[in-house]
Amino acid sequence: MSRPIYFAGLSLTSPRGVSSEDVVLYNIPEFATAYKEKFGVFFLPTVTDSELSFERNKTRILVHYFSSWKDYVIVTRPFSFSVEEVEAIARKIREESKVIASIAASRLSSLTRLSSRFMGIVDGFEIDLGLTSLLIGEHRSFESYAIDVIEEFVSVSKRPVFVKVSPSVQLSSEFLENLRQTGIAGMVFTPHIVYSIGREFFRVHSPYLSKLYALIWAKLIASTDIPTAYISDIPEHLLGEVSVEKTFDILLFDTALLSTLVDMPGVVELDKEMPIRWRYIPDPLRPAIDVVREPQCLNVCPYRAFSKEKNLHDSPSGLAVADEKCNVCGLCLSSCKDVKLMATLTPE
Ligand code: SF4
């Protein structure tokens, strides 16, 4: 067995992990078992207790542009998981690896209430400042408010606290030092820009942003001794030996891990505007792809909801309808050109 890695006081089996921005992997039933050898830490999907209600039939991922795993723009939906779902995931994987609960809330009372749901089943907490700034709005000085809330939360937390920063948080050396002085255990840097329109939230994943912000923040962290993690949109096998992402103590992944699961057809939609709302796939409808015209789409579903043999046998038209394993992620809707929503009727 390899020697443990120490990160922010936690003993990890590997300096790699899954980020709290994943919207696909944690929904795969066998995911944690399959990945436990590879990852030393699982940051659970971020949850909030704001009035944003959890919507099960809303899609969670959209491919805006895809040329390769070094050149893509994927948009995901923050707060895709309910608190109950994330609690269940934590209970399932806590025996396997270190588990961190990720939370975003506009008030200290909400943070403490949410964190109490995870006590005893996680090894630490992550506060997502990018999402917190969207929940708070722009009516007060965010930096000083954030420092006050984090300081209070760290003082009452019985577990290590990590702070996650994104491009929407103005990160100066002074703010970094103020964060360090709150007593946080470590920082997670995410290159993902988040935006909201009304009650809809969006997060943009792109290898170009990933590389750009790694360069900017690598310089900033050189002057601090805080343990750091970086979320890379470039899969590990495509990172060079001396890539700037490796300046950080550990690396976390989310959309980049899709490269190990799915075959992504090329998607050229850069002329289209970024989304302002997520699609619904209402029950009992499910996606149906044309496997004659787009055979590559059979392998785009991370949950293997399309079966070529079954569908082609049942449907001479060449349409493959997703089976009950479809959990409405939305990946096929934006990756394949001609997807219909269909209901499968079974005789009484
Ligand atoms: S069929 Fe698969 S890829 Fe398409 S929406 Fe359902 S789960 Fe997602």
Tell me if residue 153 falls in helix, strand or coil: helix
How far, CA to CA in Å, does 37 sit from each of 12, 34, 162, 329? 11, 8, 23, 26
User: Do 33 and 94 meet the contact criterion of CB atoms below 8 Å apart?
Assistant: no
- Supply the residue whose CA is at minimum distance from atom 2 of ligand 1: 301
Q: Which helix (H) or strand (E) holds 220?
A: helix 207-221
How far, CA to CA in Å, does 234 sit from each of 73, 107, 211? 12, 34, 8
Q: Sort 170 into a burial class: Cβ within 10 Å, 0-12 / 13-18 / 19+.
A: exposed
| Helix extents (H) in 82-171 | 83-93, 108-118, 129-136, 142-156
How far, CA to CA in Å, does 245 sit from each of 123, 213, 232? 25, 9, 7
- Supply the residue whose CA is at minimum distance from atom 3 of ligand 1: 301
For the ranges 100-109, 149-158, 175-184, 316-325, which has the lowest average pLDDT? 316-325
Q: What pLDDT shows up at residue 137? A: 76
Q: Residue written as tokens 């992997």?
A: 25
**Per-residue model confidence as pLDDT tens digits over 178-198:** 999 999 999 999 999 999 888
Taking the C-alpha atoms of residue 292 and residue 215, their distance in angstroms, rounded to an integer, is: 44
Ligand 1 centroid to Cα of residue 288, in Å, is 9
Residue 235 CB coordination number (10 Å): 17
Q: What is the pTM of this model?
A: 0.92
Average pLDDT, the chain: 87
The residue extents of the domains of the chain are 5-260, 283-338
CA dihedral 178, 180, 185, 189 (to 10 degrees): 80
How many residues are given for the chain? 348
Residue 199 CB coordination number (10 Å): 11
Ligand 1 centroid to Cα of residue 298, in Å, is 10
111 CB-side CA count, 13 A: 27
Q: Which helix (H) or strand (E) holds 11?
A: strand 10-12
Q: Which fold has domain 283-338?
A: Alpha-Beta Plaits (3.30.70)
Tell me if residue 126 falls in helix, strand or coil: strand
Ligand 1 centroid to Cα of residue 300, in Å, is 8
Q: Which CATH architecture has domain 5-260?
A: Alpha-Beta Barrel (3.20)
Ligand 1 centroid to Cα of residue 169, in Å, is 33
**Per-residue model confidence as pLDDT tens digits over 205-235:** 999 999 999 999 998 888 888 999 999 999 9
For the ranges 36-40, 120-124, 252-256, 284-288, which has the lowest average pLDDT? 36-40
